[in-house]
Amino acid sequence: MEILISAVGTTDPISNNRDAALLHIARTYRPEQIVLVYSEEMLVKKDLVEKALCSIEGYHPKVVIESIILKNDEVYLFDKMYEVMGQIIEKYSGTDHQLILNLSSGTPQIISALFALNRINDYNTQAIQVATPNKSANRKYVPLSSEDEQKLFDENEDNQKDYEDRTIKDEAEKFNQSLIKRHLRNLISSYDYLAAEELVTRKEYNKLLSKKKLSRLRDLLNDFVKVFKTQAILKDIQGYSLTEVEKKALNYFLMIEVLKERGQVADVLIKSKSYVEFIIEEKIKKDYPELIKYDGTFPKLNEEYKDFEAILDFIDLEFKKAKGIKDEKERIYSPQSTLNLLSYENILSYYQVSPELLKSIKLINSLNGERNKVAHGLSEIDSKLVNSKKLQQTIDTLRFILQDTFEIDDNYFSCYQTLNNEMLDLLRQ
């Protein structure tokens, strides 16, 4: 059923020898039911409006007077009109109902409320405006005598079969799409790829962009979602002229960088140590082949390596210093211990690698206490120890360690941001 919901304005039902908005929409769309919303002031027009609606030849709608009467001192309050008109629309909305909203009758606040309700809420509506014949503003209503009322009908130029249709449908689609695009840009700018993907894959947004551009946007978002869900390597990075290990390392670094931008401090702390362990392990494997052996997936010192005893003694000495153990000649550090970032730092210290690299590893190790509290103790992060400056220093350190180990050109590090900008540009079109 088509239902017209309309406030009654000062120019309704007939003005300047032509239909005013309410009557003109009824004449053109002929809804089966008309719901009239009166203000206290406009109630005086009740009989006249119904008589005008019944004057349309061959048309006999069901006219309902809405029980909510708008108060004269509230029709100029947008928030109140938004609330009240929303309640009325909700009352008449239903799966089998097509609502028509009159956007030309009533106070500007009533019209604005209907306009907003039509565009924001998911009702089955179409909103109609009616152009005035003389483009003039509304005037205060003055009650008419019976003779004047009859004269209105007799002189109404729209009361004929070949009248001029002045209705203008409010096409909310472009506006809604503009809002959706803006929301998507905000999500992508804040790196919330999952929320953006869930939104852009909805069927109702199949016409948000051209088929080709929408497909590209969905592919990019899907790729990013896989990265953060499964640590998959971004497709663009997979095409780079890098080794598989370098691609993996670059992708993981960029992922941590995004987590920092999102403000996910705990994730940055937890992943940073694991990341540096991976990088340094690869460096040791590259620079000192066969120094590391594996017990399943666990890295251990290789007893057959030429420097095994010397390295083991060095790690043991550093271990005792860290524990404050003195005058202990027996080894405490087991040769079967699983290697970690601290033991990797000791190995590189033994080989006297660059001071800059050792300093960088120490910085990551210095976060280990806070990391363990977060990862294992479910503790709150101490913002004094891990602030925004410290996080940025951590990111810079991770990049230095990565580029010190692998010769990855600076241009590769803009990959994520380049794709982010591409998505933003798609949504500006």
User: Is pLDDT at 362 greater than 90 in this prediction?
Assistant: yes
The region, left, alpha or beta by phi > 0 then psi within -120 to 50, assigned to residue 155 is alpha
Give the tens place of pLDDT for each residue, 121-133. Answer: 656 677 788 876 6
User: Is pLDDT at 134 greater than 60 in this prediction?
Assistant: no
Give the tens place of pLDDT for each residue, 294-334. Answer: 999 999 999 999 999 999 999 999 999 988 888 888 899 99
Peptide bond into 13 cis (omega under 30): yes
Q: Which residue has the higher pLDDT, 164 or 188?
A: 188
Give the tens place of pLDDT for each residue, 372-417. Answer: 776 666 667 777 767 888 899 999 999 999 999 998 999 999 999 9
Q: Please give the pLDDT value at position 409.
A: 94
Q: At what angle do helices 265-287 and 244-262 cross, to 10 degrees?
A: 160
Element (H, E) at 290: none
Q: At what angle do helices 355-366 and 368-375 cross, to 10 degrees?
A: 30
What single letter denotes the amino acid at residue 281?
A: E
Reported confidence tier of residue 136, pLDDT bands at 50, 70, 90: very low
Distances in whole angstroms, Cα of residue 243 to Cα of each of 240, 291, 407: 9, 22, 11
User: Is pLDDT at 275 greater than 80 in this prediction?
Assistant: yes
pTM over 0.85: no
Element (H, E) at 2: strand 2-7
Gap between the Cα atoms of 269 and 197, Å rounded? 27
Lowest mean per-residue pLDDT among 62-76, 78-92, 371-385: 371-385
Q: Please give the pLDDT value at position 138.
A: 46
Q: b or e along 145-177 (b: 16 or more beta carbons within 10 Å of the residue's beta carbon)?
A: eeeebeebeeebebbeeeeeebbeebebeeebe
Q: CB within 8 A of 282, min separation 6: which ones?
A: 245, 249, 405, 406
- State both tokens at 98: 């097509």
